Chain A
Amino acid sequence: MKYFEDIQVGDVFEVGRYTFTAENIKAFATRFDPQLFHVDEAAAERSHFGALCASGWHTALAWMRLMVDYRRRLDDALRARGEPVAGIGPALGFRELKWLKPVYVGDTIEYKTEVTEMRPSNSKPGQGLMTFRSTGTNQDGDPVISLVSTTFVERRRKTP
């Protein structure tokens, strides 16, 4: 990750896309959220969702995986330029997670993460806290998920 001092409020990370299939929806839900409308097409058709749809946790985890991969690419690019790489995490948690629309089989969700607040950590002098809002939008342009997270980001050792 870039250092705390090099990240600005308003920075946007275009983290990538994930396509939901009947197979990956059911595989995830069978393990963690086996409600019928996430694991059984026929039962889902009879539910208020009208068709098989992804667990909201699956929609969130697809973002997390893309975000980690994005940061890894960013770190590789920094190293390739001979620049130091800042540590990131752990996260303190998240808030305002909203599942705005169901995610159905065949939906491709595009995820973006925008930095909304940067502040020094009071308890850990070498660290700052980055707050960011992440959103996922389907192929029709409809937002399907939004959440706000806060995580530690390393500060530069020497402050000017």
Chain B
Amino acid sequence: MGDRKLYWEDFQPGAVAVYGPRLVTREEIVAFAAEFDPQPMHLDEAAASSTMLGGLGASGWHTCCLLMRIIADGFVLNSSSMGGPGVDEVRWLKPLRPGTNIRVRTTVLDTRASTSRPQMGLVKFMFEVIDDGDAILTTLSTTLMFGRRAPGDRS
């Protein structure tokens, strides 16, 4: 999308982009878990092997944070982002294993103007964290808020 700053008007339903890759190391999986989600399945191979994860895997929250950083570098920091009101749904479908290169596939599902704030618009996204083999590890559906290049009237 180049260096031109992105506004709400620049997001078109159906648009797809892929950001990354980003190599996720064992060291950062364990460090993140030790800080934010210190459960054995995210910290220690031996303990993780006896859990349903079947081996060391990243905290699902780590995957969400990596997704955030990848889309921040991918387009959010180059936009009129005003943050987001929340996340509709996150599904942790497959474990994120050490040594995986992840990418984020971004699909614009819908856009609409804000009814209460004419300087703002909303964009509904589906984000998918995918691995080297294009397997979908995590999906995250959310709406983000962006400033408008041309603020709408209040009608």
Q: Report A's interface with B, CB cutoff 8 A.
A: 31-35, 37, 47-49, 55-57, 60-61, 64-65, 68, 87, 89-99, 124, 147, 152
Q: Are A68 and B90 in contact, with the CB atoms below 8 A?
A: no
Cross-chain contact B90 with A93 (CB below 8 angstroms): yes
Instruction: Please tell me the number of chain B residues within 8 Å of chain A, measured between CB atoms.
Output: 34
A interface secondary structure, majority:
mixed
Given A90-B41, A98-B85, 17 new contacts (CB under 8 A): A32-B66, A33-B68, A35-B76, A47-B82, A49-B83, A57-B61, A61-B61, A65-B38, A68-B37, A90-B92, A91-B92, A93-B92, A93-B138, A94-B87, A94-B89, A95-B89, A99-B83
B41 touches A99 (CB 8 A): no
Question: Using a CB–CB distance below 8 Å, which chain B residues touch chain A?
Answer: 35-39, 41, 51-53, 57, 59-61, 64-66, 68-69, 72, 76-77, 81-92, 138
Cβ contact of A65, chosen from B35, B86, B91, cutoff 8 A: B35
Would you mind naming 20 contact pairs between A and B with Cβ atoms under 8 Å apart? A31-B69, A32-B66, A37-B83, A48-B82, A55-B68, A57-B61, A57-B64, A57-B65, A57-B68, A61-B61, A61-B65, A64-B59, A68-B39, A90-B52, A91-B92, A93-B91, A94-B90, A97-B90, A147-B87, A152-B52
Is the CB–CB distance between B61 and A33 below 8 Å? no
A64 B68 Cβ-Cβ under 8 A: no
Interface centre among A64, A93, A147 (most CB of B within 10 A): A93
Cβ of A87: which chain B residues have Cβ within 8 Å of it?
Answer: 51
Q: Find chain B residues with CB under 8 A from A94 CB.
A: 87, 89-90
Give the complex CA separation of A147 and B87 in angstroms.
Answer: 9
Contact at A92–B92, with CB atoms within 8 Å?
Answer: yes
Known: A32-B69, A34-B77. A90 touches B60 (CB 8 A): yes
Tell me, in angstroms, the Cα distance from A49 to B52 when the chains sit together.
Answer: 41
Which of these, A64, A89, A92, contacts B91 with CB under 8 Å?
A92
Contacting pair A68 B69 (CB below 8 A): no
The CA-CA distance from A20 to B86 in the complex, in Å, is 19
The CA-CA distance from A95 to B60 in the complex, in Å, is: 13
